[in-house]
Structure 1
Amino acid sequence: MVDAVTTTNNADARIKSGTGMLASNFETFLTLLTSQLKNQDPMSPVDSNQFTAQLTQMAGVEQQLLTNDLLKSLVAAQGGGGLGEAATYIGKDATAAWSATKMDDGEASWSYELGANAASATLQVLDGTGKVVWSGDAPAKTTGLHDFTWDGKATIGNDGEDGEVYSLKIVAKDAAGKAVDAQVLTRGRITGVEMYEGEAFLTIGKSIVPLSTVIALEEFEDPASAA
């Protein structure tokens, strides 16, 4: 998927490449022009019109170098603006297609969505190494969004530990045994943002999710103010 970060990086690479070529050509041009002036025949100097044209070319190359420097500054500013843009999401309620979260106070919570009613739906909690530590029936098998909270009690291996990252997986099937579309989601209010390797990440509850995984945003409505 091509995103704003990829586009910015590609643009910066092209500008750097073009600037390097122009700088090289500029240095070569100056060397040749200087040599021409030093070795010209005093009895037959360089034609003034030709010399003016060469100086005009040199000024054009220099101007292009300055333009590229300006473009580099603009690209850098655009990349740095990613944090400012992401910060505008703080305070909003978000839904992200993301399955990893930290356990806190002995619990880890997720949401999951079913595209149709399922005859069977199995949930699996995986630890940071990808090993299944808990498996069981989904609490709801009807179409739509549902919440699930794991109490940290493992059915396989060790119980969950606070501060550790766990992820949720769902497998759902209809009465005919065919797979039902399903996805694990992270939902909650955005409380912070940070940049990592040029990509914006949002803090949603106990999860840190890439901005690119957010599929829905809503203005937070305080029940107290509504009352």
Structure 2
Amino acid sequence: MVTSVSNTSGTNTSGTSSTPSTTGGLATTYETFLGLLTAQIKNQDPLSPMDSTQWTNQLVQYTSVEQQLKANEYLKSLVGLGAGNMANSVNMIGKTAVADIDTQTFKDQPLTWHYDLANSASQVAVEVLDADGKTVWKGTSDQLKKGDNSFTWDGKDSTGATVKEGNYTLKVTATGANGTAISNAVSVQQRVDATELINGEIVLRMGYSLIPMSYVTGVRETADA
């Protein structure tokens, strides 16, 4: 899948190489037309004016061409941007990405989330919610320090039964010694196994989860196991 995306990107790049000459030619023609039209209007015989219908239609046609030129330039910039982003995502493979997202896909392996505490907490309550927002497991975490902490869920519900495959979200509620709430941010920090292009959006395969590249806030080398 990654290879085919790379090949497609290469094809797009070579396919646009001839566009500037065509675009430049059309732009020059449009400017020439406007110059000639302006000169004709200025020099026309007041007693025998030009037929406005003809040059108005031509003006409309060339205006449409100008708009198409601008649209083509915009599309070219988007294609270039997309190709650059895909190249960047491929460079992430094998590295650990930090994604600002609290949802992962469970199949048959435990899931690990990270949560960043604004201050040290006296208690951290955690809940795991299914795709419908229903709590399937809740408990506490013993990691209370300010900064980055992690929590691993074994994929079992409150009765000890393994949950079905699907997306699950971690909710963290941290409180201080005086009972005040402590803000936190949940993230997924995991090795990138592959990149894919789905519905025009670049996503990273991290474990069983497909996480949009737009959620990534950092990348680092993966530590040796």
| Distance (Å, rounded) in 2 between the aligned partners of 1:76 and 1:85 | 15
Is the 1:186–1:204 contact (alpha carbons within 8 Å) kept by the matching residues of 2?
Answer: no
8 Å Cα contact 1:101-1:167 kept in structure 2:
yes
Aligned length: 178
Distance 1:106 1:59 in 2: 61
| Cα deviations by residue, 1:180-223 (Å, 9 ceiling, x for unpaired) | 121211011212222334332212223222222111112346x4
Q: After the TM superposition, which residues 1-227 of structure 1 pair with which residues of structure 2 at under 5 Å, given as runs?
A: 61=63, 64=66, 67-68=69-70, 70-71=72-73, 73-75=75-77, 77-78=79-80, 80-81=82-83, 82-155=85-158, 159-161=162-164, 163-220=165-222, 223=224
Q: 1:177 to 1:62 in 2, by over 3 A?
A: closer
Cα deviations across residues 73-93 of structure 1 (Å, max 9, x unaligned)?
Answer: 514523642434433322322
When normalised by structure 2's length, the TM-score is: 0.64
RMSD: 3.4
Once the two structures are TM-superposed, the CA of residue 135 in structure 1 deviates from its matched residue by 0.4
In 1: Cα distance, 2:108 partner to 2:64 partner? 63
The CA deviation at 1:145 is 1.8
Distance 1:144 1:65, change over 3 A: closer
Q: Secondary structure at the match of 2:149?
A: strand
5+ residue gaps, structure 1: 1-25, 27-32, 34-43
> 1:219 & 1:203 partners in 2: Cα distance?
16
Return the letter of the residue paired with 2:130.
D
Alpha-carbon deviation of 1:46? Answer: 6.1
